[in-house]
Amino acid sequence: MAIELIVGLGNPGDDYQKHRHNVGFLFIDKLSQNFKLEKKFFGETSFYKQTRLLKPTTFMNKSGLSVQAMVNFFKLKPEQILVVHDELDLESGVVKLKKSGGHGGHNGLRDIIKAIGSKDFYRLRIGIGHPGASHLVSDYVLHKPSKNELENIETAMDKSFNVLDKIIAGEFDIAMQNLHTGK
């Protein structure tokens, strides 16, 4: 099944723009520069080729409101959605494609799962690394990455862009193999 909607997770506003938690927004912004605010979707929308793009204008922990509005309006199935997000459990520079699963403590994913009533959507997990201790996580994700980390994150995004058309076409096994092995 082809991907009809790519959602980039992040927090709205200039204060959060370059934070680790906004990697999903950064990814989406590289696909299109022509976003339109659509209040009925609680987000900014655009297209990459024929695929809808969404940047929720809600805060991260309310991302489900925006995704649910798109799902309901366009009658999308969870399998037609790709959510791009930051991943603490992967080092910066590592990117993984995954279908389904839990939220892994990510509040944006948690809210999307709750809002659409399913965890069966695809995730493009872009590694941002972990600060080492759980009590440091909130502060860590809400700060800018180092220059080296940012370069690694951008390298991970470039790897993703190389297989994005395969992901959109529903060629997930090929995309995963290429993405995860670097071939």
Catalytic residue among 21, 130, 135, 143: 21
- Rg (C-alpha) for the chain, rounded Å, is 15
CA dihedral for 58, 61, 66, 67, sign (positive or negative): positive
**CA–CA distance, 97 with 80 (Å, rounded to integer):** 14
Tokens 């800018």: give the residue.
Answer: 144
Active-site residue, 85 included:
no
**CA–CA distance, 11 with 131 (Å, rounded to integer):** 20
DSSP H stretches of helix in 75-136: 107-116
Neighbour count for residue 131 (Cβ, 10 Å) = 16
Any idea which residues carry the catalytic annotation?
A: 21
